């Protein structure tokens, strides 16, 4: 089986699509940044694939510059995330409404997420504590 241009385009489309869905559905700033980087890598695969199949190096050279810019962007954005976290102790994008442009109304979620009660999860005894034997059992575990 030969690998054609369409195989590379399919992989790039899947990467871009996963990044797009992740960016739109997540609210954590770091997760949103990583999804944007995933979309960028899908575009880079397209450039390399088209450059290879057209027989020129322009797309591959462009991807080298793209990767250098992405590395710089990663350093700057992670430094920004650290400073934002130190300021408000949260990386939820909805908590940073004061950073929007002047004159724009704040974005409000239509439906809040349902609260999960801790009673619905099973609990285990703490480490080192043995459960008490039930009444009527003859054999008791030796300590």
Rounded Cα gap, residues 128 and 32, in angstroms? 41
**Mean model confidence pLDDT for the chain:** 84
Cβ contact 25:48 at 8 Å: no
pTM score, two decimals?
0.67
The mean per-residue pLDDT over the stretch 13-42 comes to 94
Dist CA 37 CA 24 (whole Å): 14
User: Which domains does the chain show, CATH number per domain?
Assistant: 5-96 (1.10.287.3510)
Q: Is 28 helix (H, G, I), strand (E, B) or coil?
A: strand
Instruction: Flag whether pLDDT at 6 surpasses 80.
Output: yes
Instruction: State how far the Cα of 32 lies from the Cα of 122, in Å rounded to an integer.
Output: 32
Question: pLDDT tens-digit profile of 77-117?
Answer: 999 889 888 988 888 877 777 777 888 887 776 776 677 66
């Amino acid at each position: 089986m030969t690998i054609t241009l369409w195989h590379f385009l399919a992989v790039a489309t899947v990467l871009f699509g996963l990044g797009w869905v992740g960016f739109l559905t997540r609210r954590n700033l770091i997760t949103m940044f990583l999804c944007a980087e995933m979309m960028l890598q899908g575009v880079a695969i397209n450039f390399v694939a088209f450059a290879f199949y057209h027989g020129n190096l322009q797309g591959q050279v462009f991807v080298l510059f793209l990767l250098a810019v992405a590395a710089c962007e990663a350093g700057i954005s992670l430094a920004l995330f650290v400073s934002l976290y130190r300021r408000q102790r949260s990386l939820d994008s909805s908590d940073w409404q004061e950073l929007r442009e002047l004159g724009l109304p704040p974005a409000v979620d239509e439906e809040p997420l349902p609260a999960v009660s801790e009673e619905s999860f099973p609990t285990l005894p703490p480490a080192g504590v043995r459960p008490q034997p039930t009444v009527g059992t003859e054999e008791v575990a030796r300590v």
